Amino acid sequence: MDSTSRILLDRVQRSFPLVSEPFRALSEGLEIGEQEVRTLIGTLKEEKIIRQISAIFNTGALGYRSSLVAMAVPENELDRAAEVVNRYPGVSHNYLRPGNFNMWFTIAVPPGKEIGEVVAAISAEAGGWPARILPALKKYKLAVVLDVLEDGDSEITEEKAGLPPTESTSRFSPTAENIDIVKCIQEDLPLVPKPFALWAQKLGMSEAELLGTICDWTSNGTIRRFAAVLNHRQVGFRANGMVVWNCPEDRIDRQGDILASHPEVSHCYYRPAYPDWPFNLYAMIHGRSPEECETTAKKLAEAIGMDNFRILFSTREFKKVRLKLFWD
């Protein structure tokens, strides 16, 4: 990619302009016009570098409950189990990672449903394999912002370490209008000069009303951010590893804050431990190779003074989609 493409990617994944003509705003300082920006974004989507530009919601603020789940599946049953797990609409990510617990998926269940009951039903249908529910007891960092810039690209938009997790400060009202807005703005933003006006027209409201709602939901934490999500592999980050530690509970907040301060870490959580899975501190890292991830993991371990870590590399992708909220 050339410098213009890299700078544009940096902008759209960090903070997409919530204005009437966002692509015109993105063109400022790029020496290309609004039409060229839309064309370039379209090309980056065709090349599967940009997955989607949309609202990224705080599912908990909308009444959903979510968790990471680890399942122990025999190798010869993986495809069948993955088919069952992936069938549930609340499963957005599902990966194979080596180890006793080898199928790792994220799940969100709507209001009125219990995660334990849903996971038990999925596990039973998949073959009755052991599953461990690992919700985030505390979030120290949640921001997949890949550093795509190279030396000579003059673009600094936000702190390189990324964004801290934003918790909702107000309760989402599940009115028919609000649910329609969520279902609309979780989809890919249209590549037209005034995309929010097009969305507003479909929703039967004014552009100003829609933008005001999006800004309000972003400021109160209902929307974590409105931004692009990139395809890690297509921009060179071909390896990712989930680094886990068995951390003493009285040190976990301090260690989590230290890990979150490192730009190589995109996610950092405190999760429950089990007798057969004693790890409670998780840091997700991305690198251009497994070796780079291993170097990063050692650096993180040194920073928190704990070398009892394990790296779980993603070796197969069973499912990776944007979670659709309020599915029918």
Please identify every residue annotated as catalytic: 93
Residues 6+ apart with CB under 8 A from 51: 45, 228, 229, 230, 231, 322
29-34 long-range contacts, CB within 8 A, separation 24+: 30/4, 31/4, 32/4, 34/193
**Kind of pairing, strands 50-57 and 239-245?**
unpaired
Which residues are 228's β-sheet partners? 53
CB neighbour burial string for 231-242, b if at least 16 within 10 angstroms, e if fewer: bbeebebebbbb
The strands making up 265-270's β-sheet, listed across from edge to edge, are 138-142, 265-270, 281-287, 239-245, 309-313
Assign 281 to helix, strand or coil: strand
223 near 16, Cβ under 8 Å? Answer: no
Q: Distance (Å, rounded) from C-alpha 106 to C-alpha 96?
A: 12
Give the tokens for residue 248: 């003493």
C-alpha angle with apex 302: 298 to 304, nearest 5 degrees?
Answer: 120
C-beta of residue 302 within 8 angstroms of C-beta of residue 32: no
Alpha helices in the chain (DSSP H): 3-14, 22-27, 34-46, 78-87, 115-126, 176-185, 195-203, 207-219, 252-260, 290-304
Contact between residue 217 and residue 166 where contact means Cβ atoms under 8 Å apart = no
